[in-house]
Structure 1
Amino acid sequence: MARSTRKQEILQAALACFTELGVEGTTIEMIRDRSGASIGSLYHHFGNREGIIAALYLEGIGEYAALLEAGLVCTLEAEACVKLFVTCYVDWVVANPDWARFVLHNRGRVEAGECGDRLREANRAHGQRIGAVLKRHREAGAFRRMPGDCFVSVVIGPVHDMARNWLAGRSGTPLAECRELLAEIAWDSVRAG
């Protein structure tokens, strides 16, 4: 979380509480105490605890999306684009492990909640921007033929699984050490011929 505004301070406090006590074990009063914010400030910025959860989730996926999209703007080759999906994912997870754990475990909750439409819209817009970048590579024949949603799963699936295991402490290999290998595997899985 880059900026340090009152809203960001509340989100940082919420993430710390969720990490220590779990989402279900955290009350809005705990977040208020941790952040030093007034209850009015919490409700002004987020409406309720579910609003805090959704804001934290949306900001996390937004930060990763911005990192990826910024890199894609500068990347011209198909191979570099595919590898960037993986390396940005690894870099964000390694830099933000608590936030990444939170995002991994709370998607369904946010999707089903009052901010579900905002999440779906953010994902749709991000998908369109990414799709526009990848379209020219697909049309140039750089990728093997497969449905778009399958493409994303093939590219992100292995790194996502490794990240989940690393975040859960089930992997003895640091995620950062697998960064280039997973990027190479992603490229080998989708490149044409």
Structure 2
Amino acid sequence: MARPSRKDEILQAALACVTEQGVDGTTIEMIRDRSGASIGSLYHHFGNKERIIAALYMSGTAQYAQMLQRGFASADSAEACVRLLVTSYIDWVVANPDWARFILHSRSRVEAGEMGDALREANREHFAQIFAALAEYRQQGLFKALPDDCFASVVIGPTQDLARNWLAGRTRSELRDCRELLAQIAWDSVRNGG
């Protein structure tokens, strides 16, 4: 396994700090101390705390997007693609609960900050890749006719809601135990004739 880059080490340190102290309570000095990086290295890689926070957010969402792309490469049906959207999300959240919690609570901050345009562009690319993977199935009429933003909300919305509650400790059910149920609900909700 490859050794993490200095940039990745800084991001992991930042995640640990924001998990323990919250975003507002985390200082660049805390991140420096936790990562062992020099101030010069922090500023070289990121520039400031807000850029570290944005990079942390975008790195986490990019991991999920990469999982999806690997999955789409072997998904061989409309149902498999929709199920993949749900199961990959759950798998990533269960494997990365602190990062997922950070992402769920930090989107508006990143969008409002200096990296907001970069986040919006990354989101556009992410959704374009999803809809490209689904395009042939949509053309075949295998999905209900839904606007793109509505389609995405119907597929992933219930899963994100349960994940948010699970991450906050407000569920009795384990998120991973609901994986197949939520995937089936997503498929049933968007398939044509469902």
- Which category describes the TM-score, using the shorter chain as reference length? over 0.9
Partner of 1:154: 154
**CA-based RMSD:** 1.0
Deviation at 1:192, TM superposition (A): 0.6
Partner of 2:176: 176
Partner of 1:139: 139
Aligned counterparts, 1:105-144, within 5 A? 105-144=105-144
Partner of 2:6: 6
Partner of 1:77: 77
CA distance in structure 2 between the aligned counterparts of 1:132 and 1:33, rounded to whole angstroms? 43
Instruction: Please list every run of 5 or more consecutive structure 1 residues that lacks an aligned counterpart in the other structure.
Output: none
CA distance in structure 2 between the aligned counterparts of 1:95 and 1:148, rounded to whole angstroms? 28
Partner of 2:24: 24
SS in 1 for 2:170: coil
One-letter code of the match for 1:156?
A: I
> TM-score scaled to structure 2, two decimals?
0.97
CA distance in structure 1 between the aligned counterparts of 2:32 and 2:114, rounded to whole angstroms? 22
Deviations 1:82-109 (A, max 9, x none): 0000000000000000000001011111
> TM-score scaled to structure 1, two decimals?
0.97
CA distance in structure 2 between the aligned counterparts of 1:126 and 1:184, rounded to whole angstroms? 23
Deviation at 1:15, TM superposition (A): 0.3
**After TM superposition, which residue ranges in structure 1, 4 or more long, deviate above 6 angstroms?**
none
Instruction: Please list every run of 5 or more consecutive structure 2 residues that lacks an aligned counterpart in the other structure.
Output: none
CA distance in structure 2 between the aligned counterparts of 1:116 and 1:171, rounded to whole angstroms? 32
Corresponding pairs, count: 192
CA distance in structure 1 between the aligned counterparts of 2:3 and 2:137, rounded to whole angstroms? 35
Percent identity among equivalent residues?
A: 69
